[in-house]
Structure 1
Amino acid sequence: MNWFFLQVTNPATTATADTLHKAATPGAQGEHVMNVMDLLANGGPLMIPLGLLFVLAVFFFFERLIAIRKASKIDPNFMYIIRDNIFSGNVSAARSLAKNTPNPVARIIDKGLQRIGKPIEAIEKSMENVGKLEVYKMERNLSVLSLVYGIAPMFGFLGTIFGMLQLFYNINASGEFTPAQIAGGIYTKMITSASGLIIGLLAYVGYNFLNAQIDKTVNRMEAASAEFIDILQEPTR
C-alpha cells in the first residue's frame, strides 16, 4: 500500500519540483518573453523606412510645437498699450512696440498701424493678408506629419504581405511545414503592420494636436485684429 501511494504521488511531486525549479531559474522562462528589439529586427527590410518615418514624425512634431508655442505667447497688456498710444496720438510708439514684439499678433497690428489714415476696409484687408501669412508659417511642415500618418500603415501592410509571400513560398518550395513554423512566420511578419499602425496613429494624434494649438493662436489673432479695428473707430463714435 505504501508502495502504491509512492508510485501515485511521485510524478506529481516530481512535476511540482520541476515547476518550482523552472520558476526559480531565470533562463527557463526566457524563451517565452518577447524581446521588442528582436521583434523589430525580424520585421524585415521595410522596418528601415518605417523607422525613418517615425524619426521624421517625432522631429517635425517637436519642431512645430516649439514654433507654435513661441507664436502663441502674447503679452496680455499688449493691446492696452497700443490703445493708449493711439488715443494719445503717439502712433510711432505703438509701431515701435509692435515691431519689437516677435509674435503674429504684433505683426498684424503693425501692418494695421502702417495703414492708419486709409479706409477701414483697406486696413482690414492688409491685416487679413498678414494673418494668412502667419497662419501659413505656423502650418509649415505639418504636411510631413499628415504624410507619415497616411503612408506608415501602408508600409506596414506591404511588409506583412511580402513576409507572407516569402513564408508560403518557402513552404511550397520545401514541402515541409508545421503549425509552429507558420505561427512563427506570421507573427514576426505582422510586426511591420503593428509598427506602421502605431507610427501612423502617433503622427495622426500629433497632427491634430498641433492643429488645435494653431486654431487657438488664430483665434487670438482674430480677436486682436477686431479689437484694433474697434480702437480705430472708437474716436469717431
Structure 2
Amino acid sequence: MFLNLLLQISTGAEDLTAEGVEEIVPHEETLSVIDLIVSGGWYIMIPLAVLSVVAIYIFIERFLAIQKASKEDPQFMNQIKDFIHEGKIDAANHLCKQTDSTFARMIQKGVKRIGKPLGDISAAIENVGKLELFKLEQSLSTLATIAGAAPMIGFLGTVIGMIVVFHEMRISSSGIEIEQLSGGIMQAMVTTVAGLVIGIIAYIAYNILVARVEKVVYKMEATTIEFMDLLQEPAE
C-alpha cells in the first residue's frame, strides 16, 4: 500500500512537471523577409526600394557597356599596321570606321593626323580616349552616391522610428506594453538594416565597375603606345 502511494505521488509529479514545461515553452514566431520589409515603414522603405532598383539597373547597364568596350579584335592592329606600312591611309581610316570599338575610334583619330608631329597625334588620340572614358564612367557617380546615401536614409528611418516610440511612451496614460515597445524598436531598426544592405551591395557593385574600367584604360594606353611605335618604325 505504501509503495502504491509513492507511485501515485511520482506519477502526479511527472504530470505537473509536463504541464509546467508545456506552459513555459514559448511559442516561436518566424519572420520572413517580406514581413521585415513591410514593418520598416513605407516612408523610408519606398525610397530605399527605389535606390535599390536604380543601383541594380546602373550596375547591369554599365557592366554590359564596359564589357562591350573592352572587346578588342586581335587582328585589328595587325591590319592597321599593314595598311600604314603600305601607305594605304584611306584603307586604314575605312577599317577604323567599320570597326565599332573604343580602340578603333582612338586609332582613327591618329590615322587622320598622320603627317603631323607625333606630339599632336598623341594628344589627339588621348583626347578621344578621354571622351571614351567619360562615356564608360557615366552613372558611376550615381552608384557611389547610392552606396553612401542608402545607409544614411536607413539610419534616418531608425531615428524617426525611435522618436515615434518615445512619443507614444510619453502620451500613453496606462503605460506602454513591452510587446509594443519591442515592436516599435524592431520597426525602427529594420530601416537601418535595409539601408546597410543596399549600401553594401551598391559599394561592391561600384568597385567592380571601377576595376573593369581600369582594365579598359590599360588596354587603351597599350593600344596608343602600339600605334605611336608603329608610326616611328619607318623612320628607323
TM, length-normalised to structure 2 = 0.91
CA distance in 1, matches of 2:225, 2:132: 16
The Cα of 1:15 is off from its aligned counterpart by 6.3
Is 1:41 paired with 2:46?
no
- What do the CA deviations read for 1:197-217 (whole angstroms, capped 9, x no partner)? 111111111111101100000
Pick aligned residue for 1:53 from 51, 62, 68: 51
- Report the equivalent of 2:165: 167
Structure 1 counterpart SS, 2:87: coil
CA distance in 2, matches of 1:13, 1:168: 41
The Cα of 1:47 is off from its aligned counterpart by 0.8
The Cα of 1:141 is off from its aligned counterpart by 1.1
- Report the equivalent of 2:194: 195
Structure 2 counterpart SS, 1:215: helix
TM, length-normalised to structure 1 = 0.91
CA distance in 2, matches of 1:178, 1:118: 83
- What do the CA deviations read for 1:46-85 (whole angstroms, capped 9, x no partner)? 1111111111101111111111111111111211111111
The Cα of 1:99 is off from its aligned counterpart by 1.1
CA distance in 1, matches of 2:171, 2:19: 44
CA distance in 2, matches of 1:231, 1:108: 14
CA distance in 2, matches of 1:193, 1:63: 28
- Report the equivalent of 1:93: 91
CA distance in 2, matches of 1:15, 1:128: 81
* Amino acid across the alignment from 2:13: V
Structure 2 counterpart SS, 1:177: coil
Residue pairs, 1:115-134, within 5 angstroms: 115-134=113-132
The Cα of 1:178 is off from its aligned counterpart by 3.3
Structure 2 unpaired stretches of 5+: 1-5
- Report the equivalent of 1:4: 9
The Cα of 1:14 is off from its aligned counterpart by 4.8
CA distance in 1, matches of 2:62, 2:213: 10
CA distance in 1, matches of 2:145, 2:98: 36
Residue pairs, 1:22-33, within 5 angstroms: 32-33=29-30
Q: How many residues align?
A: 228
* Amino acid across the alignment from 2:221: E
- Report the equivalent of 1:140: 138
CA distance in 2, matches of 1:210, 1:57: 12
* Amino acid across the alignment from 1:35: S
CA distance in 1, matches of 2:189, 2:18: 41
- Report the equivalent of 1:25: none
The Cα of 1:11 is off from its aligned counterpart by 3.1
- Report the equivalent of 1:236: 235
CA distance in 2, matches of 1:158, 1:211: 29
* Amino acid across the alignment from 1:71: A
